[in-house]
Amino acid sequence: MIVKHCFSSFFKRLVFAAILAAALDVNAAKTAEAEADAIHDPWAFDLTLDMWFPGLNADFSAGPLSQSVDLSFIDIAGKLRSFPVAFHGHLEAHYERLGLYLDGDYLGLDFKPRFDGGIAKGLSTELGVMDYGVSYRLFGSTASERVAHWEEKSPSNILDLYAGGRTIWLGNQLEFTGIGSFSGSNSFTAPVIGGRIVTEFLPKWFMLLDGNAGGFGADHVSFTGSGLGAVGYRTTLFGVPSTVQAGYKALTVNVDKRVGADATLHGPFIGLTGYW
């Protein structure tokens, strides 16, 4: 009877200790989770810088004069006074699944005059495109989650939908010997809607598809759209989560006005994106 009583007392103490340990463990887990929630920052940002090497199919107009151009990137490089590189920058700010974006492209073309039938012609044009708007992540990890788990297993695939505006700045100067010259510049703004898909097909390797369309006749913009496809690699540079990507991009602008253009630029690009 004494042995039984001792065993029962020991068993009760063991059960009490187990319950106490479990309670402490649960409390520690809740504390850790609360601390994680407290330090979780819902904001995340990323900045992309690209170099674009486009060919050009376009009709430019300035007043009563017009000029057509249909050249590949290599052809353009041989006919310009300066190297034809288009610069592109893209900035995003995310709060959970909502995002704000600002995107800009710039291309300057200054063609060397040539002689066709004794008439000297010159064409200089500058094209600037600024996109801005809001986005929503329909599915996939939020931007802050991706940054927080950058070095872990491949993040989930992503689908973003976005809508906003596109402001186009266009400056043309056309010269015809014996006829005259005309120059002018103008800006146009039109709505744009689009979507973007990011899918990882190998550890740290991903595919990016982005397309949009807009214009709809607003502010003399009959149509504008852009699309790109790229393959990229997820890495870390100088301690900053980064991706390197390369692909092909196209941009179409159809502006119907005294200073106008019906232009499509298309060609390869390389880019670098930093995330924080």
Query: Residue 161: pLDDT band by 50, 70, 90 thresholds?
Result: very high
* Cβ(52)–Cβ(269) below 8 Å: yes
pTM of the model: 0.76
Residue 240 reports pLDDT greater than 70: yes
Q: If you classify domain 42-275 with CATH, what class do you get?
A: mainly beta
Residue 174 reports pLDDT greater than 90: no
What residues have CB less than 8 Å from 156, skipping those under 6 apart?
139, 140, 141
Residues 227-241: b if buried by 16+ CB within 10 A, e if exposed: bbebebebeeeeeeb
Query: Residue 118: pLDDT band by 50, 70, 90 thresholds?
Result: very low
Query: Residue 185: pLDDT band by 50, 70, 90 thresholds?
Result: confident
